[in-house]
């Protein structure tokens, strides 16, 4: 199987993100591979370990995004490609989807494109379905498990996590899949993997290289702000036995009118 996994470089989830002078800042927190995408890389690697084949990691972003790709290579992906172009600077999810879909076509003979659930910066969670639509492939999103996969017949059966529980869906390859945490803990890059990744030459594809029309962004986000500081009057409830504390606390919660 040939699998493409899409990864994004984002500020670490432990970062204190704020807006300073109109610019988004995450202080000295590191940029890392989007945590959801680590699950996607793991899922892609597990699939090729079972069914044979290769995993190609693709990222869209500036030069910095090579670090996310190197992480994917260190985990075990065999190839990495960066899509980078000044015209994609303010790309919205639709433009990103068209660019990623074009890259997947250019890689060629891809059986599956695997995504994380969402990126923890933009929190859009629509890129997997949008890429699927541009490609005309089925979208098997929020997959927690692949229960059957026949690489020759190009069919599969997956379990998806939805609000009401799990949904079992049969589909055909090629397909887009997004994965949730239940798929499996991402492996740590091996020492050999890290060495290999650090030496890897990562090709950069421009918009022209993609050979597809990437539409101009229609969604803009001209203004970012810090949420209002939470005004909380703290009240520590103390004194007496746990039963007395609990009684006071229950009364106060009821007074707030929230139960």
Partner 1 sequence: MANKVWVFVDQFKGEGHPASWEVVAAGRKLADEVGSGLTALVFGEGVEAVAQTAIHYGADEVLLADGAPLAEFRVEAYASQLAKLAQDDTPDVILFPTTTRARELAGMAAIDLNSGVLPDVIAMDLEGDTIVVTRPVYAGKLLAKSQCAAKPQLITLRARAFGKPEADESRSGEVKSVDVVVDEGTMATQVVDYATSDGQVSLTDASVIVSGGRGTSNRADLEPPADITDEKEQEIWRAQQGFLLIGELAEVLGAAVGASRAAVDAGYIPYTHQVGQTGKVVGPDLYIASGISGAIQHLAGMRTSKVIVAINKDPDAPIFKLARFGVVGDLYDIVPALTAAFKERLDK
Residues 25-44 that bind partner 1 (CB under 8 A): 35-36
Least Cβ distance, residue 57 to partner 1 (angstroms)? 20
Q: Which is nearer to partner 1, 35 or 78 (CB)?
A: 35
- Among the listed residues 21, 152, 208, 230, the single contact to partner 1 using CB under 8 A: 230
Q: Of 48-56, 79-87, 123-131, 187-195, which segment contacts partner 1 by CB under 8 A?
A: 123-131
| 34 Cβ neighbours under 8 A, 6+ residues apart | 7, 8, 9, 10, 68, 116, 119, 120, 121
Least Cβ distance, residue 145 to partner 1 (angstroms)? 11
Q: Measured between alpha carbons, how far is 117 from 47 in angstroms, rounded to an integer?
A: 18
- Among the listed residues 23, 109, 201, 256, the single contact to partner 1 using CB under 8 A: 256
DSSP letter string over 98-151? HHHHHHHHHH-S-SEEEEES--TTT----HHHHHHHHHT--EEEEEEEEEEEET
Q: Which is nearer to partner 1, 204 or 245 (CB)?
A: 245
Least Cβ distance, residue 190 to partner 1 (angstroms)? 21
Q: Is 9 an interacting residue with respect to partner 1 (CB under 8 A)?
A: no
Q: Measured between alpha carbons, how far is 35 from 42 in angstroms, rounded to an integer?
A: 11
Q: Which two tokens stand for residue 23?
A: 């610019």
Between the CA of residue 206 and those of 13, 46, 86, 150, 200, what are the distances in Å? 29, 30, 9, 35, 19
Q: Which is nearer to partner 1, 106 or 157 (CB)?
A: 157
The tokens 């009364």 sit on which residue? 251
Longest dimension (CA), the chain: 73
Window 57-96: contact mask with partner 1 (x via CB under 8 A): -----------------------------------xxx--
- Among the listed residues 22, 86, 108, 227, the single contact to partner 1 using CB under 8 A: 227
Q: What's the first-to-final CA gap in the chain, in angstroms?
A: 53
Q: Of 48-56, 63-71, 196-204, 221-229, which segment contacts partner 1 by CB under 8 A?
A: 221-229
**Interface with partner 1 in residues 169-208 (CB under 8 A):** 169-172, 175, 180-182
**Interface with partner 1 in residues 144-173 (CB under 8 A):** 157, 159, 161-172
The helix (run of H) or strand (run of E) holding residue 66 is: helix 66-75
The radius of gyration computed from the CA coordinates of the chain, to the nearest angstrom, equals: 22
């Amino acid at each position: 199987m040939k699998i493409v996994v899409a990864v994004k470089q984002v500020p670490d989830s432990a970062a204190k993100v704020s807006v300073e002078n109109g610019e988004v800042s995450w202080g000295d927190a590191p940029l890392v591979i989007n945590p959801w995408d680590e699950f996607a890389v793991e899922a892609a690697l597990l699939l090729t370990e079972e069914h044979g084949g290769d995993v190609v990691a693709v990222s869209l972003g500036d030069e910095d995004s090579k670090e996310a790709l190197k992480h994917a290579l260190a985990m075990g992906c065999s190839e990495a490609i960066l899509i980078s172009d000044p015209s994609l600077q303010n790309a919205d999810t639709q433009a990103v989807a068209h660019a990623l879909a074009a890259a997947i076509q250019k890689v060629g003979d891809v059986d599956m494109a695997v995504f994380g659930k969402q990126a923890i910066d933009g929190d859009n969670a629509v890129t997997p379905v949008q890429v699927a639509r541009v490609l005309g492939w089925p979208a098997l999103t929020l997959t927690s498990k692949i229960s059957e996969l026949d690489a020759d017949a190009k069919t599969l059966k997956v379990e998806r996590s939805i609000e009401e529980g799990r949904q079992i869906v049969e589909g055909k390859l090629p397909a887009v899949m997004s994965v949730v945490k239940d798929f499996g803990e991402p492996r740590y890059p091996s020492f050999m993997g890290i060495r290999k990744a650090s030496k890897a030459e990562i090709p950069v594809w421009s918009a022209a290289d993609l050979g597809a029309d990437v539409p101009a962004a229609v969604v803009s986000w001209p203004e970012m702000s810090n949420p209002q500081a939470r005004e909380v009057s703290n009240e520590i409830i103390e004194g007496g036995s746990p039963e007395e504390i609990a009684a006071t606390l229950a009364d106060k919660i009821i007074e707030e009118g929230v139960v």
